[in-house]
A and B are shown apart, each in its own frame.
Chain A
Amino acid sequence: MNALVLQTTARLVVLLLVVFSVLVLLRGHNEPGGGFIGGLLCGLAFATHALSFGVRATRRLMRIDPLRLLGVGLILAAGSGLPAMFRGQAFMTGQWLGSVPGIGKVGSVLVFDVGVYLVVLGAAMLILTGLMGEED
């Protein structure tokens, strides 16, 4: 949408939302949030961008192919259960690396959540850019 007021605001809002989405992702294990909410939020951020600047600009901005995002996300999520298997434990048994201040204990579970985040983001992007791409 060619609205100066919107575009100016959107720059700020998008940035804010993306940062916020990562925050939500990382602290999700301990506070409300997590991969879904983070991914959706990031998707909404890009939706805002696309609505403000057009979907081509958004694609340029993202740089990453959303389909690849899906692939990486799925591999991270499904793969997060593999280390346990290689150690002879049940699939998806939690593997913990250590504590990070502000996030808490970090391990395979976080990898899983990151995968979730990427998949949700990728899918949201595919849907939105796909639909809006038809408008351009």
Chain B
Amino acid sequence: MLWTVLGLFGLAAVSPWATRRLGDAAGWVLALGPAAVFVYWLVNWPAVAAGELNQTLPWAESLGVELAFRGDGLAGAMSLLVSGIGALIVVYAGGYLRGNPRLGLFFAYLFVFMGAMLGMVVSDHLIALFVFWEMTSVSSYLLIGFNHGKPDNRDAALKALLVTGGGGLALLAGLVLLGSIGVSLGLLLNEALRVSVLVEHAGAIQGHALFPAMLVLVLIGCFTKSAQFPFHFWLPAAMAGPTPVSAYLHSATMVKAGVFLLARLHPALAGGTLWVAVVTTVGAVTMLLGAVMAVGQRDLKGILAYTTISVLGTLVMLLGLGTDTAIKAMVAFLFAHGLYKAALFMVAGNVDHETGTRDVMALGGLRSLMPLTAAAGLVAALSMAGAPPMFGYVSKKVMLEAQVGAPTLAWLLTAAAVVANLCMVGAALLLALRPFWGAYREPPRKPHEAPRSMTFGPLLLAALGLLVGLLPGGFNATLGGAMASSIRGEPLAMKLKLMFGLDAKSLLIVALSFGALGLGYVLYRRLRGGPEFPAGLQGLGRYGPDRGYGRAMAGLMGLAKWQTRVVQSGYLRRYVLLVVGVVALAAGPLAVAAVRGGGAATIAGPLRVHEVVLALLVMAGAVYGVMARSRLAAVIGIGGSGIGLAVIFAVYGAVDLAITQLMVETLVVVILVLVLLRLPGAVRASGRLARGRDLLVAAAGGSVVTLLVLASATVELPAAVSSYYLNTASPAAFGRNVVNVILVDFRALDTLGEIVVVAVAGVGVASLVWRGAGRRARPGIEDPQRSGEAV
């Protein structure tokens, strides 16, 4: 299984090069990759059915992450869907983007996306699954923004990435929580996120205190990815991508990722009230909303996008219900949708490609010019509408069955499903009838039938939809049953059939089905002339979460600007003030406590006049340095203070120190004087209030240091290190000046570092003051005012 994923990534890496070599045939040839994956799953289906297809590789063991693959029914079915439709999409894209110099790049993105999708569906370890999950987000970002010349496309791509990425973060948090729940249940780190292990501990997990938080986070992840209300708004915007992308995104894969994960986690997490309530509600709302919004669209891809949202809502709702019928319905619906929606997107793409417009109102009568496309569109649309004998009809039937049999609020759910279906019918007819039948309207470009590469896919998919509808038994026995069992967590037989029984429930369902079809047709009649009637519905989109997204972005910008203004004001003095304030506030109370704690300190010994005078001088010099009007006077004051300090050192037996301090001070004064000479004039002082505040904060900072110094005397420990120096310097290090011996021998490494500092300071000053050194710099490269000046 690993190789199927890696193979696609490898294909991604070579496809830009391969596309250039293969020319027009590239699509057909490269499609062999996903086709091979498709074949792999077909060939291995017995193993899948037997649950024997497992593979575990070490990955990030330290974090308990393994590349654990499990080819169960769900994985196998999804893989077949992904790789099968994927192969068709590759073929289709080869035609759709023929001659586009970036076709190779497109294939690369597509294969990354496909590989990630395949990796995701087969992952048993949730972190590995998440890795692939995020890869789909990123590759879809690149795909949506493929035509990035237009700002709208870029915005749409970003919106998709931010919403799904944000959801991904929630999901990650949820998974991390789930992992820690697992560990707290006694699982090993690497097992705690293995779905196959978690399933066995479902009860314990759901009883854990962190379960609700975890569940909500995971659901947010799934809902954003699967465009559930209120996160659905990114999906219509993502129509911007080239059509093959939309097809792939919507039908098979990315948006189904969320549904897939819900299905994957269903055995472990589902069943509780929270799950049922949240998932069912969100799903139902999304189903209704998507369907209603769909009929308000004029853009082919817009209609498709909203109907997709509706279907996703349906799938989620079914998973929320979680009854056996609901799961069967979900499986059927998922596949049916995969087939017809991909076909319809390709059909829409063909229309767009050939006519240059996607506005349904601008199209009409294309049937004769594009017969194959029209045929595929019609069949697929019928499946979408749920008309017999299509796969769509079969799945709709079982869906309604699930609604009717819902444990609570069955009537409400059923009503919602019927309304949604009715809108779907309208939308389907709008898609398939309006452009092809009726009077011919002159589109922007003269249309003719799309090339074979672009009709092959939709025809095949539409035909499959019809085939499964007619003969659902094969599906029941293979894909459907295996997938449903995986979701259920125990064997579950699929029993889809075209015909219906004659019991009351079956009759009700059939009645509802056909009723929806009929009402849908009525709706279509209203819509055909132009969708004025649902124009009001557009408001739902405009004032809904999308607007919230815009507001959030603007708010974020405002907040960021405010923060920058407040925190990063550019006033150095304010920075210093804040830093010192932090020191005073954070360390001040602790320093006070430190002085009061511990033993009595001997801090007030006998005073000597000259020492007191020296200390006063040091302080006076410093204070004068602060008060002096003239900067030179300040230098003199501080210089005096430094020299006083030198003498204080001398008083306490530190001659070397005193000498050094003295000479350094002198040199510093010389340097400061040199600096001062060419310094521009000083600015006026700040206001009294500011000065008072600064003084207060500075004094608080100073007091902290004073307190710390005093506090150091509260602890009495032997000075063993010093004794060692005093006793060892002369006999072992052959020097009688112990301080110097420390500097050049005991702690010579300090001194080495120190002279490096001095040397660098010298180099630095030289580099600052040498104006001449750059004269011979190469022209063009020399850029003294480096970037980052403006704004």
CA separation between A135 and B673, bound complex, in Å?
12
> Which of B660, B663, B763 counts the most A-chain CB atoms under 10 A from its CB?
B663
Please state if B735 and A47 are interface contacts (CB–CB under 8 Å): no
With A30-B736, A40-B660, A104-B736 already in contact, the answer to whether A130 and B769 are too (CB < 8 A) is yes
Whether the Cβ atoms of B659 and A112 lie closer than 8 Å is no
Find out whether the CB atom of A28 lies under 8 angstroms from the CB atom of B769.
Answer: no
Decide yes or no whether A105 CB sits under 8 A from chain B. Answer: yes
Q: How far is the CB of B747 from chain A (nearest CB, A)?
A: 10
Q: Chain A residues with Cβ under 8 A from B735's Cβ?
A: 29-30, 104-105, 109
- Count A interface residues, CB 8 Å: 50
What distance in Å separates the Cβ of B324 from its nearest Cβ neighbour in chain A? 76
Residues of B within 8 A of A124 (CB): 667, 762
Judge if A10 is at the interface, Cβ distance under 8 Å.
no
Q: Is the CB of A41 within 8 A of B663?
A: yes
Contact B744 A116 (CB under 8 A): yes
B671 touches A77 (CB 8 A): no
Docked pose: A12 CA to B769 CA in angstroms: 30
Q: Is the CB of A44 within 8 A of B666?
A: yes
B765 proximity list for chain A (CB < 8 A): 126-127, 130-131
User: Within residues 724 to 773 of chain B, which ones have a CB less than 8 A from any CB in chain A?
Assistant: 733-737, 740-741, 743-745, 748-749, 751-752, 755-756, 758-759, 761-763, 765-766, 768-770
B446 within 8 A of A: no
Query: Which residues of chain B are within 8 angstroms of A123 by Cβ–Cβ distance?
Result: 758-759, 761-762
Contact A105 B734 (CB under 8 A): yes
Assuming the contacts A109-B745, A131-B765, asked whether A32 and B663 have C-beta atoms less than 8 A apart, the reply is no
A73–B756 CA distance with the chains assembled, in angstroms: 10
Among A34, A51, A132, point to the contact of B656 (Cβ < 8 A): A34
A132 to B670, CA, bound (A): 10
Question: Within 8 Å CB of A40, what residues of B?
Answer: 660, 663-664, 667
User: In the complex, are the beta carbons of B737 and A34 less than 8 A apart?
Assistant: yes
Q: Hey, which chain B residues are within 8 Å of A14, CB to CB? A: none
Whole-angstrom distance between the Cβ of B730 and the nearest chain A Cβ: 9
Contacts of A34 in B (CB 8 A): 656, 737, 740, 743-744
Residues on A with beta carbons closer than 8 Å to the beta carbon of B744: 29, 34-35, 109, 112-113, 116
Chain A residues with CB below 8 A from B749, complex form: 92
Give the tally of cross-chain contacts (CB within 8 A).
138
Chain A, Cβ-Cβ closest to B743: A34
The verdict on A67 contacting chain B, using a C-beta distance below 8 Å, is yes
Interface centre among B743, B748, B755 (most CB of A within 10 A): B755
A interface, by DSSP: helix, strand, loop or mixed? helix
Q: Please, which residues of chain B bring their CB within 8 A of the CB of A33?
A: 656, 659, 737, 740
Residues of A within 8 A of B743 (CB): 34, 36
Which residue from chain B places its CB closest to the CB of A127 in the assembled complex? B765
Verify if B655 is at the interface (C-beta below 8 Å from A).
yes
The winner among A74, A115, A119, A122 for most chain B CB atoms within 10 A is A119
Check: B504 CB closer than 8 A to any chain A CB. Answer: no
Residues of A with C-beta under 8 A to B748 = 81, 92, 109, 112
Rounded to whole angstroms, the CA-CA distance of A94 and B746 in the bound complex is 10
Which residues of B are found within 8 Å of A74, using beta-carbon distances?
755-756, 759
- What's the minimum C-beta distance from A48 to chain B, rounded to whole angstroms? 9
Report the bound CA distance from A32 to B650 in whole Å.
12
Given contacts A29-B735, A32-B656, A119-B755, contact A126 B667 (CB under 8 A): no
Determine whether A13 belongs to the interface, using a CB cutoff of 8 Å to chain B: no
How distant is A24 from chain B, measured CB to nearest CB, in Å? 9
Q: Please tell me if the beta carbons of B761 and A127 are within 8 angstroms of each other in the complex.
A: yes
Instruction: Please name all residues of chain A whose beta carbon is closer than 8 Å to the beta carbon of B655 when the two chains form the complex.
Output: 32
The stretch of B110-118, B216-224, B430-438, B674-682 that contacts the partner chain: B674-682
- Give the chain A neighbours of B736 by CB distance below 8 A: 29-31, 104
Chain A: minimal CB distance from B772 (Å): 10
A133–B734 CA distance with the chains assembled, in angstroms: 43
User: Which B residues are within 8 Å of any A CB, using their own CB?
Assistant: 655-656, 659-660, 663-664, 666-667, 670-671, 674-675, 677-678, 733-737, 740-741, 743-745, 748-749, 751-752, 755-756, 758-759, 761-763, 765-766, 768-770
22 contacts between A and B (CB under 8 A): A29-B740, A30-B736, A32-B659, A32-B737, A37-B660, A66-B762, A67-B766, A73-B755, A74-B756, A77-B751, A94-B734, A94-B745, A104-B736, A107-B734, A109-B733, A116-B744, A116-B751, A120-B755, A127-B761, A127-B766, A134-B769, A135-B677
A-B pairs, 10 with minimum CB distance: A123-B762, A126-B762, A105-B734, A29-B735, A130-B769, A30-B736, A131-B674, A40-B663, A119-B755, A70-B759
